[in-house]
């Protein structure tokens, strides 16, 4: 989340002379966010106020679901009760733009120029912009990587650099389980999440919907191959069921050898399992073929300015500092492991520094290096419907309720079509 820092002169040039009187008087802006995201925003305030002492920033940590629910309710009420800035997950973003197109400001009216937009990867902007309106600015990304226990892999004689395909991952899992009794290769929330399907299908250039959001693509060949491979991993014992809390517990207890997640999971492991410093490492996600893509995205958020805010210029000044400068983005990466979306952040010295917790590996260089290779994936306004339908089909397929992955995803595609009115891509 960083980009070249713009000094005071550049800010004036970006925002225009008309902004100066608006910021001459002390102004307070409020932000809704949650957990580590909220803490990360707070970590930028001191450095922000050294440059803009007249803007007081208050971050309210309401919890993820609370922010979503309260924002949805406030937008339904015409925007009443919204703070100046709201944290919005990309995964759910289009729900807001679709239902309430007037709830948030068009950032282009505040200084979000095409030059600034170009500093972010396209896949992060896809869900935040509709036609000529930019509803939110990209914040953190979730470039996917495999987080692994170095000691467990070494004991089994597995070099992670040799794990290039998901078949390699299955074979490695069998050796690791044999060499490390009581340790499973990896975990997936089969009951409550579609995480593994979304990660691998995105890697393969597929998803619930087409990139333009106009057709249903969940039953395209790449998605079918993804679901088939996940079932193979489950049947082989490579993947065992575990929810979020159970995964965190397994990390600390040392009963799992790998976790596949967005780069933000670095902070989860490091902060929840501090005594395991030096034992963990990172490698690129495997692919369906040795020469296939090894990049995907899972998760990530953005910041939007409410249309009813009386302090839009001050809110934009903060957004452009926290999200649009290397200084703001690297501060959040250092403190809480929130992965920058800003492409220039990859060139900052901290990114290439060895990280002690990760055995001296420069994990951020490896993780951020995949960002330009990530294919855009649309959530659309129907993301929740499609996700629920997929999870039900996945459960049924794992229980032998369909003859094959194609039948499972054909059924899911038909259900999504009925729920959304969108056509199935041919």
10: DSSP letter: H
CA dihedral 342, 343, 345, 351 (to 10 degrees): 120
Secondary element (H or E) of residue 226: helix 221-235
- Based on the domain organization, do 305 and 289 belong to the same domain? no
Residue 236, CA distances (Å) to 169, 232, 414 in order: 11, 6, 30
CATH number at residue 105: 3.40.190.10
What is residue 84's predicted lDDT score, i.e. its pLDDT?
98
Quick: pLDDT tens for 360-408: 999 999 999 898 899 888 778 898 899 999 999 999 999 999 999 999 9
Is it the case that residue 301 has pLDDT exceeding 60? yes
Q: Which contacts (CB < 8 Å, 24+ apart) does range 111-118 have?
A: 111/14, 111/15, 111/16, 111/19, 111/316, 111/320, 112/137, 112/316, 112/320, 113/14, 116/3, 116/14, 116/320, 116/324
Q: What is the mean pLDDT of residues 172-179?
A: 98
Q: How far apart are CA 222 and CA 207, in angstroms?
A: 9
In a domain, residue 422? The reply is no
Confidence grade of residue 3 (pLDDT, cut at 50, 70, 90)? very low
- C-alpha to C-alpha distance for 94 and 103, rounded to whole angstroms: 12
pTM: 0.85
Residues 269 and 365 in one domain: yes
Residue % of the chain over a pLDDT of 70: 94
Domain co-membership, 153 together with 274: yes
Is the same domain home to 133 and 163? no
Q: 26: pLDDT confidence band, cut at 50, 70 and 90?
A: confident
Does 8 score more than 60 pLDDT? no
| Per-residue tokens: 69 | 């629910």
**Residue 10's pLDDT band (cuts 50, 70, 90):** very low
Identify whether 287 is part of a domain: yes
Residue 312: per-residue pLDDT:
97
User: Is 265 in the same domain as 175?
Assistant: yes
Identify the domain containing residue 156 by its residue range. 144-296+355-373
Residue 79 and residue 117 share a domain: yes
**Alpha-carbon distance 283 to 281, whole Å?**
7
Answer yes or no: is pLDDT of 228 > 70.
Answer: yes
Establish if 387 belongs to a structural domain: no
Q: Above 50 in pLDDT, residue 2?
A: no
426 belongs to a structural domain:
no
Say if residue 214 is in the same domain as residue 265: yes
Instruction: Give a yes or no: residue 100 inside a domain.
Output: yes
Q: Give me the pLDDT at residue 25, please.
A: 66
Flag whether pLDDT at 9 surpasses 70.
Answer: no
> Does 290 share its domain with 308?
no
Nearest to 138 by CA among 17, 273, 303, 298: 303
C-beta neighbour count of 10 within 10 angstroms: 13
- Do 198 and 329 belong to one domain? no
160 lies in some domain:
yes
Residue-averaged pLDDT of the chain: 92
Note whether 134 and 188 are same-domain residues: no
Q: Longest C-alpha distance within the chain, in Å?
A: 69
Residue 122: closest CA among 339, 378, 368, 304: 378
Same domain, yes or no: 179 and 83: no
Q: Kindly state the average pLDDT of the residues 116-140.
A: 92
- Same domain for 154 and 98: no
**Does residue 43 belong to any structural domain of this protein?**
yes
Task: Give whole-number Cα distances, 360 to 157, 264, 268, in Å.
Answer: 20, 18, 18
Q: pLDDT at position 371, please?
A: 86
- Please choose, from the candidates 134, 104, 102, 98, the residue with its C-alpha nearest in 3D space to the C-alpha of residue 116: 134
Is residue 398 assigned to a domain? no
pLDDT for position 174: 98
Count of structural domains within the chain: 2
């Amino acid at each position: 989340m960083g980009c070249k820092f713009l000094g005071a002169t550049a800010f004036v040039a970006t925002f225009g002379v008309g902004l100066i009187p608006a910021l001459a008087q002390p102004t307070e802006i409020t932000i809704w966010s949650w957990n580590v995201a909220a803490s990360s925003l707070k970590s930028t305030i001191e450095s922000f106020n050294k440059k803009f002492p007249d803007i007081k920033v208050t971050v309210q940590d309401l919890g993820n679901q609370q922010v979503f629910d309260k924002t949805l309710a406030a937008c339904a009420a015409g925007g009443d009760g919204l703070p100046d800035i709201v944290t919005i997950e990309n995964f759910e973003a289009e729900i807001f733009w679709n239902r309430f197109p007037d709830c948030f400001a068009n950032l282009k009216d505040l200084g979000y120029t095409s030059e600034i937009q170009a500093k972010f990867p396209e896949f992060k902007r896809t869900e935040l912009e509709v036609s000529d309106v930019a509803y939110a600015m990209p914040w953190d990304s979730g470039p996917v990587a495999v987080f692994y226990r170095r000691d467990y892999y070494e004991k089994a004689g597995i070099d992670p650099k040799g794990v290039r395909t998901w078949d390699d991952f299955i074979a490695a899992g069998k050796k690791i389980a044999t060499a490390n009794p009581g340790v499973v290769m990896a975990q997936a929330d089969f009951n409550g999440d579609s995480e593994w399907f979304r990660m691998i299908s995105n890697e393969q250039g597929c998803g619930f919907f087409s990139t333009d959001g106009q057709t249903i693509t969940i039953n395209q060949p790449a998605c079918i191959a993804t679901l088939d491979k996940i079932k193979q991993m489950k049947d082989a014992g490579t993947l065992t069921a575990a929810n979020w809390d159970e995964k965190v517990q397994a990390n600390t207890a040392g009963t799992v050898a790998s976790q596949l997640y967005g780069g933000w999971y670095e902070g989860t492991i490091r902060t929840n399992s501090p005594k395991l410093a030096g034992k963990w490492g990172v490698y690129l996600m495997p692919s369906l073929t040795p020469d296939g893509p090894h990049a995907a995205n899972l998760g990530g958020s953005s910041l939007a300015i409410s249309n009813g805010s009386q302090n839009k210029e001050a809110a934009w000044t903060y957004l452009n500092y926290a999200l649009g400068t290397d200084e703001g983005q690297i501060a959040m990466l250092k403190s809480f492991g929130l992965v920058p979306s800003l492409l220039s952040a990859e060139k900052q010295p901290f990114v290439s520094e060895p990280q002690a917790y990760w055995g001296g590996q420069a994990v951020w260089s490896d993780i951020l290096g995949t960002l330009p290779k990530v294919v855009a994936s649309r959530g659309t306004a129907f993301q929740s419907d499609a996700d629920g339908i997929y999870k039900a089909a996945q459960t049924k397929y794992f229980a032998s309720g369909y003859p094959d992955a194609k039948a499972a995803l054909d059924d899911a595609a038909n259900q999504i079509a009925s729920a959304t009115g969108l056509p199935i891509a041919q």
